[in-house]
Amino acid sequence: MHTAPTLDYAVPQAATAEYPSLTLAPPEVATTPEPDTTSTLPGWQRLQRFAAWWRAVAPGILMTTLSLGLFIAFWYVATKYRWDFYIRFTHIPSPGEVLSNAANLVHSNKFYHNMGMSLRRILLGFTIATGLGVGFGLLIGQYRLARGLLLPVFEVLRPIPAIAWVPMAIMLWPSNETSIVFITFLGSFFPILLNTIHGVHSVDPVLLRAGRCLGAKDFALLHQVILPAALPHIFTGLTIGMGVAWVSLIAAEMISGQFGIGYFTWEAYSLIQYADIAVGMIVIGLLGLACSGGIRLLGTLLMPWVSINTKGGRP
């Protein structure tokens, strides 16, 4: 933390704060369990409850619908009337065209193959980045020797965006496929590494002392105390890393790819299949969303204790 690398990827508080909202509640505590009254309630009372619940959630649902509805309506109007005032909607596909193309692609094996390839690359690159990022992060955070020897290299490489590596990666790796995975890996590696280091440095020292008093030696301390204590920060890094991984992957696929959803989108442009561009973009967005959702879910499964702070589970 002190002589720390510039931690511009780290947004610890803000990002960890959002885990709790989705967490599995741990068993409620020490409060006597409330008797299950719902089954014995008279009908009108149940109705009242439903009404209260509806009143609480309705404004949110309404506003979300309105927001999305307006966006699509604007899109529709702009494409229908060929808006051409600085921004040009002349070649932009309309929502209807996009929908019908999407409906066709649902039956296309090639499309699924493209999606599968992208997911595979993400999974490989991100998993390797997690392993190495967390591993190196723990070592660099904890041991001065590792810090002194490894950090300078990482600090020099870090400011280079993953996409800038494309030509070099093509020369480095035996196949196009490996270089795309490498680019994806690079994108997510640094945020994971830096947040892990940050996590190690913010471990409460009293926990380390407690661990050592209880007989934990070097490796046990790293694995049993420092790693779990740093886990919330690590997951911040994973969330950011997943975002950067998608950015890097799509760029790499557009530049040097064969197959993949980024390649599909770029190919649609070359082949003047304009509606497919939008389908590609939407699918990229959905896959990215699903991946960060997956990380968040994993976080709540692995860190059930984090949610207790905010849920007020104390007796």
Partner 1 sequence: MISVANQASVRGHILVDHLRVRFGHDRSAVEAVSDVSMAVQPGEFVSIIGPSGCGKSTLLNVVAGFVPPSAGQVTLDGKTTDKPGADRGMVFQQYSLFPWMSVRRNVEFGLKMQGMEKSQRQSAARTLLGLAGLLGFENHYPEQLSGGMRQRVGIVRALATSPQVLLMDEPFGALDAQTRVVMQQILTRMWQRFRISVLFITHDIDESIFLSDRVYVMTARPGRIKAEIPIPLPRPRTPDTAITAEYLAIKHKLRNLISEESLKAMGGELKDGGLGGFDIDVGPQGVAELI
Q: Which residues bind partner 1 (CB under 8 A)?
A: 26-27, 29-30, 204, 206-207, 209-217, 220, 224-225, 228-229, 231, 303-305, 308-309, 313-315
Torsion, Cα of 182, 108, 95, 246 (10° steps): -10
Q: Least distance from C-beta 201 to partner 1, angstroms?
A: 17
Distance CA 244, CA 174 (A): 24
CB 229 within 8 A of CB 208: no
The residue (of 25 and 160) whose beta carbon lies closer to partner 1 is 25
Distance CA 188, CA 244 (A): 6
Q: Least distance from C-beta 122 to partner 1, angstroms?
A: 28
Spatial CB neighbours of 204, under 8 Å, sequence gap ≥ 6: 229
The residue (of 59 and 205) whose beta carbon lies closer to partner 1 is 205
Composition of the chain by helix, strand, coil, percent to 5: 75, 0, 25
Q: Among 2, 24, 32, 25, which Cα is nearest to 296's? A: 24
Spatial CB neighbours of 25, under 8 Å, sequence gap ≥ 6: 307, 311, 313
Cα distance from N-terminal residue to C-terminal residue, the chain? 36
The residue (of 220 and 255) whose beta carbon lies closer to partner 1 is 220
Q: Least distance from C-beta 220 to partner 1, angstroms?
A: 6
Retrieve residue 307's tokens: 């949610």
State residue 85 phi and psi, 5-degree precision: -130, 95
CB 37 within 8 A of CB 223: no
Long-range contacts of 37-43 (CB under 8 A, 24+ apart): none
Q: Least distance from C-beta 72 to partner 1, angstroms?
A: 44
CB 183 within 8 A of CB 249: yes
Q: Least distance from C-beta 108 to partner 1, angstroms?
A: 46
Distance CA 93, CA 74 (A): 13
Q: Least distance from C-beta 303 to partner 1, angstroms?
A: 7
The residue (of 229 and 295) whose beta carbon lies closer to partner 1 is 229
Q: Least distance from C-beta 204 to partner 1, angstroms?
A: 8
**72 dihedral zone (left: phi>0; alpha: psi -120 to 50; beta):** alpha
Q: Least distance from C-beta 231 to partner 1, angstroms?
A: 7
The residue (of 11 and 308) whose beta carbon lies closer to partner 1 is 308
Distance CA 135, CA 192 (A): 10
Q: Least distance from C-beta 99 to partner 1, angstroms?
A: 46
The residue (of 98 and 303) whose beta carbon lies closer to partner 1 is 303
The residue (of 110 and 223) whose beta carbon lies closer to partner 1 is 223
The residue (of 188 and 196) whose beta carbon lies closer to partner 1 is 196
CB 192 within 8 A of CB 231: no
The residue (of 55 and 314) whose beta carbon lies closer to partner 1 is 314
